[in-house]
Amino acid sequence: EVQLLESGGGLVQPGGSLRLSCAASGFTFSSYAMSWVRQAPGKGLEWVSTFSVGGQIALYADSVKGRFTISRDTSSNKFYLQMNSLRAEDTAVYYCAKGSDTGGGYFDYWGQGTLVTVSS
């Protein structure tokens, strides 16, 4: 059974940093693209970042480029989102999502989400 479990959310001041983690199980982690998608309170879904199959390519939304960095540890089946220079508009529930084995594509499994609140 595929499971994704996010952690690391919380309250942070503007300009601060936070690292989100996603623990994956039930599939061969390195064989799939992995993504982060966020949802501001009461709003729709916004794609944040994707790590390609094999992990050679990382892609980011313009809204987070230069501030956020994704990475992964295949030995522990964990996927990370390092968020720096946080802004109020980054406040959202952040979901870790599993992609297809061909890269990109649809998100077939999602974690339960972790809430990030950027406020002074």
Partner 1 sequence: EIVLTQSPDFQSVTPKEKVTITCRASQSIGSSLHWYQQKPDQSPKLLIKYTSQSFSGVPSRFSGSGSGTDFTLTINSLEAEDAATYYCHQSSSFPFTFGPGTKVDIK
CB-nearer residue toward partner 1: 91 or 105: 105
- Candidates 16-24, 73-81, 83-91, 103-111: pick the segment binding partner 1 (CB under 8 A): 103-111
CA gap 42, 17 in Å, rounded: 24
Compute the least distance from the CB of residue 14 to partner 1, in Å.
Answer: 24
List the alpha helices (DSSP H) in the chain.
none
Q: Are 70 and 51 in contact (CB under 8 A)?
A: yes
Compute the least distance from the CB of residue 84 to partner 1, in Å.
Answer: 20
Which residues share a beta bridge with 70?
81
User: How many Cβ atoms from other residues are within 10 Å of residue 102's Cβ?
Assistant: 9
Which residues share a beta bridge with 3?
25
Question: Which parts of 40-69 interact with partner 1 (CB under 8 A)?
Answer: 44-47, 50, 59, 61-62
Which residues share a beta bridge with 33?
none
Can you tell me which of 30, 74, 112, 119 binds partner 1, judged by CB under 8 A?
112
Residues forming the site for partner 1 (CB under 8 A): 35, 37, 44-47, 50, 59, 61-62, 95, 104-113
